[in-house]
Chain A
Amino acid sequence: MADTLDHSIEPQETVGRACVGLSTGLLVAGAIGLGLTVAIELLFGTGAKGFFHRYLVAFAFCMTITLGSLFFVLIQHLTKAGWSASVRRIAEIYTLGTIPLAVLFLPILVSILLGSHALYEWNDVEHVKTDALLLGKSGYLNAGFFSVRAVIYFLVWIGLARLFVYTSVRQDVVGSPDLTSRMEAWSAPGTLAFSLTASFAAFDWLMSLAPHWYSTIFGVYVFAGCLVACFATMAITVLWLKSKGFLKTAVNVEHQHDLGKLLFAFTCFWAYIAFSQYFLIWYANIPEETVWYKARLSAWKPVSGFLAIGHFILPFIFFMSRHIKRNSYLLGFWAVWGLLMHWLDLYWIVMPQMSSEALTFSLSDVTVLVGVVGIWGGTIGLLARDMSVLAVSDPRLPEALAFKNL
């Protein structure tokens, strides 16, 4: 029987205790990182073009982790999941990332409103007049409508994140199971709003980097990456918190195993979607579609090959076994690996649009990543400083604690 196990839950464990210092450090590192990036790009790099492309990669990296976490929270409520009650708070905390990300999006938004076309060719009004395809799309791809859509996306995401995080945190204190029912009721329309906004954000921010190109699956492709990023981040966070002495009894090897299974499953799902997109375009061989892969199969060919191997084949072979998922060190390794590959995937989506002739790896890729992740992570840490890392009053928590894999 479950009751014979020790299920006593630690008293309120707040993130603040774990990482107020860390958050401040992250913010400082973030500021330094961004400053260094600007300096490197302006002094030695390709100026605004280089800065904004690299910045977009780092922004998309944090954005996809945050959106994946938001989807995870939504789907746990939608399916009334029991096992995840002990790890859901971690995803909830990451959804707070929507707030710093709205601020971090401002440089891109402002530059577009000021008429910069460092990032998006479709914002070059004079050029668009001479390009029939871009002229045709200008009703959708223009600075004004682009900004309106971005504001709508962030309003929806911040609204959903706040709704779920603060309802869940209130439950810690009030303990009312009705709050769970309330979140479950919101999860269905929330998922619908999420899928539409996330898809169109993928079209707007990443697909329109190649404004002549189109792919109907692109939203699903980015969504698959969001989930890989989210499960990898959750696994890393759980392992890190446990190493700091948190969640000792609440999260056990069974939950780690489940996070590992989901990471594995969505790594395969990403491969399925990536393959579907590539294969259909390769097979039909229509120039307006192959152009996107053509940019990735010249100088970028080794990166494309490495992405296929690293993002799918290696984890498929070496992360399949249950023994590996249940081992903290190996789970941690593959989660870090998954996150690195996810970054590379985004880099591979963005950077060949800036330079298809030559690889663009640079020190500023690291500094900008430190910058954006620092500000994003530091703000999340400060926003969550008074929150418990465990949804202590979740009515399904006892089920999560008692749960065992077959």
Chain B
Amino acid sequence: MSTTVDPLLADNTLNDPRRRSPLVLGGLDYAGVTKTVCAVASETTPPPLWFLAFALSVSWAGVFGLCIAYLIFTGVGVWGNNNPVYWAFDITNFVFWVGIGHAGTLISAILFLFRQKWRTSINRAAEAMTIFAVICAAIFPGIHVGRAWLAYWLAPYPNQMAMWPNFRSPLLWDVFAVSTYFTVSALFWFMGMIPDIATLRDQSKSKIRQFVYGVLSLGWTGSSRQWHRYEKAYMILAALSTPLVLSVHTIVSFDFAVSQVPGWHTTIFPPYFVAGAIFSGFAMVVTLLVPTRVICGLENLVTIRHLENMNKIILATGCMVGYAYGIEFFIAWYGGNPYETDTFLNRAFGPYWWAYWTMVSCNVISPQLFWFKKIRTTPWMMLIVCIFVNIGMWFERFVIIVTSLARDALPSAWHYFTPTNIDLLMLIGSFGVFFSLFLLFCRFLPVVAMAEVKSIMVEHHHEDHGHGHGGHAHGGHGGRH
């Protein structure tokens, strides 16, 4: 055994340019990784905390369901929407949740193409979160159509009424973009999970679990031919998903930007929305993983370095969002269009000033705290910042949607929007759905991509099993990226 402790193993947020910091701590080997991850989805009773959280989430999901039922029986008048604010909480919630749903596929596709090996510990949970967020998002336009039982009219299909949706409307492109994104993300998530589900199948003792995991693992044996196909498919799905990550929020931004509404129509919207989506998505991943890694005992896999890396991405995308706010304001003045200038002054100093400054404080100022390493690497501190970011990104959509509508081109029509209790309950309720699904995922599926984590610790396993460190002068060593 080594007599000295490797400083990078003691604190893997330290940087030594000569070698990569370890991404798996606690001296875990292959078996250790399997044991750690499978323990989370084990057959023993989960901790009481899980039941408490689940009961709370499911209750709120139930409230959401009741609100939807009430809305369908009564009509969208139960919301605070008015004339001219025809879009309010419903579309805000939709854009908010779609935005959250961008981190997972970014991590599994774009960070994969960029060979960011640290993504392996977090991609599974982030992809799951993506799917659940898109589910939450899809509910809102579905019920906003008013007659929710006719929501299928959103899809173009030949019918005897010869009635088609408007192909020129970005709202229809949304239907395509979001459903494509959901399908590909779900496929990517499931396909990536097959080897790990097979591991759960092999580790399970209960007959029911063996059967269910057996069916879901599609007969995976781990043969080299299967791995070969799996890796090819993974690469293809990553390449296909990359433009999808950009396209979904680009099209969501088109919902606003193709119009002539001041504050909505501006050319920076597509990349600005994508940056904002990644920003909010990563903030939600950190918000979920900080407690999850402790409760599920994953500290050696989802290390402080993983969290720090995500916080750096949050800082970078937060600056991009701040850049977009600044450029919008500058061009609103520079463009010389009085309506545009007025809209922006109205945002900052009009009746919704409180929403605007909440947005700026949460989205632009709070992530600047991540310049300090202490805050980037201390779980409770980053959790606070990330919750602020989540709040700020919800307000960003609220500010964009409501301020531009509430004071439209006709001053006599101006109308202040106030949410009803149903609006608020539905917003909270959608979190209930999201957390319920995430808690079920933690309970029954592999929360960390075991096979992928093992793939980056190949040489680590051979070289320093049981040792502090070997002669790592060079990079290229798995497990240390």
Query: B250: CB under 8 A from chain A?
Result: yes
Q: Give chain A residues whose Cβ lies under 8 Å from the Cβ of B337.
A: 288
Q: Tell me the complex Cα distance, A139–B336, Å.
A: 12
Cβ B474 vs Cβ A402 within 8 A: yes
Kindly report which residue of chain B lies nearest to residue A132, judged by CB atoms. Answer: B336
Cβ A195 vs Cβ B257 within 8 A: no
Q: What's the dominant secondary structure at chain A's contact region?
A: helix
Cβ A140 vs Cβ B18 within 8 A: no
Assess A2 versus B335: contact at CB under 8 Å? Given A181-B17, A216-B327, A217-B271.
no
Tally chain B residues at the interface, Cβ within 8 Å: 39
Query: B235: CB under 8 A from chain A?
Result: yes
Query: A323: CB under 8 A from chain B?
Result: no
State which of B60-68, B154-162, B186-194, B262-270 sits at the interface with chain A: B262-270
Cβ A284 vs Cβ B476 within 8 A: no
Cβ B336 vs Cβ A136 within 8 A: yes
Assess A276 versus B259: contact at CB under 8 Å? Given A133-B336, A284-B265, A399-B474.
no
Task: For residue B227, give the distance in angstroms from its CB to the closest CB of chain A.
Answer: 13
From A195, A280, A406, give the contact of B267 (CB < 8 A).
Answer: A280
Query: A184: CB under 8 A from chain B?
Result: yes
Q: Give chain B residues whose Cβ lies under 8 Å from the Cβ of A192.
A: 319
Cβ B258 vs Cβ A286 within 8 A: no
Q: Tell me the complex Cα distance, A214–B474, Å.
A: 50
Chain A 50-84, CB within 8 Å of chain B: the 1/0 string? 00000000000000000000000000000110110
Q: Tell me the complex Cα distance, A218–B334, Å.
A: 13
Cβ A2 vs Cβ B476 within 8 A: yes
Cβ A395 vs Cβ B246 within 8 A: no
Query: A396: CB under 8 A from chain B?
Result: yes
Task: For residue A392, give the distance in angstroms from its CB to the closest CB of chain B.
Answer: 15
Cβ B271 vs Cβ A276 within 8 A: yes
From B235, B258, B270, B371, give the contact of A283 (CB < 8 A).
Answer: B258
Assess A272 versus B257: contact at CB under 8 Å? Given A199-B327, A219-B327, A284-B265.
no
Tally chain A residues at the interface, Cβ within 8 Å: 48
Q: Tell me the complex Cα distance, A18–B92, Å.
A: 59
Query: A167: CB under 8 A from chain B?
Result: no
Q: Give chain A residues whose Cβ lies under 8 Å from the Cβ of B269.
A: 276, 280
Q: Give chain A residues whose Cβ lies under 8 Å from the Cβ of B324.
A: 216
Cβ B271 vs Cβ A220 within 8 A: yes
Q: Tell me the complex Cα distance, A140–B231, Å.
A: 54
Q: Give chain A residues whose Cβ lies under 8 Å from the Cβ of B334.
A: 137, 140, 203, 214
Chain A 1-43, CB within 8 Å of chain B: the 1/0 string? 0110000000000000000000000000000000000000000
Kindly report which residue of chain B lies nearest to residue A212, judged by CB atoms. Answer: B336
Cβ A272 vs Cβ B246 within 8 A: yes
Q: Give chain B residues whose Cβ lies under 8 Å from the Cβ of A283.
A: 258
Cβ A177 vs Cβ B267 within 8 A: no
Query: A299: CB under 8 A from chain B?
Result: no
Query: B323: CB under 8 A from chain A?
Result: yes
Query: B291: CB under 8 A from chain A?
Result: no
Q: Tell me the complex Cα distance, A173–B17, Å.
A: 17
Q: Give chain A residues whose Cβ lies under 8 Å from the Cβ of B473.
A: 398
Chain A 271-292, CB within 8 Å of chain B: the 1/0 string? 0110011011101101010000
Q: Tell me the complex Cα distance, A228–B20, Å.
A: 30
Cβ B271 vs Cβ A184 within 8 A: no
Chain A 212-243, CB within 8 Å of chain B: the 1/0 string? 10111111100000000000000000000000
Query: B165: CB under 8 A from chain A?
Result: no
From B16, B235, B270, B371, give the contact of A276 (CB < 8 A).
Answer: B270
Which residues 313-331 of B have a CB within 8 angstroms of A?
Answer: 319, 323-324, 327-328, 331
Chain B 251-291, CB within 8 Å of chain A: the 1/0 string? 00010011110000111111100000000000000000000
Task: For residue A329, give the distance in angstroms from its CB to the closest CB of chain B.
Answer: 25
Q: Tell me the complex Cα distance, A375–B369, Å.
A: 44
From B265, B336, B476, give the contact of A399 (CB < 8 A).
Answer: B476
Q: Give chain A residues whose Cβ lies under 8 Å from the Cβ of B20.
A: 82, 399
List 19 interface pairs A-B (beta carbons < 8 Å), by A numbering. A133-B336, A140-B334, A177-B16, A177-B18, A188-B371, A192-B319, A212-B336, A215-B267, A217-B268, A272-B271, A279-B258, A280-B266, A280-B270, A284-B260, A284-B265, A395-B17, A399-B20, A399-B476, A403-B476
- Top 8 closest A-B pairs, CB basis? A399-B475, A216-B268, A398-B474, A217-B267, A180-B17, A395-B17, A402-B476, A214-B335
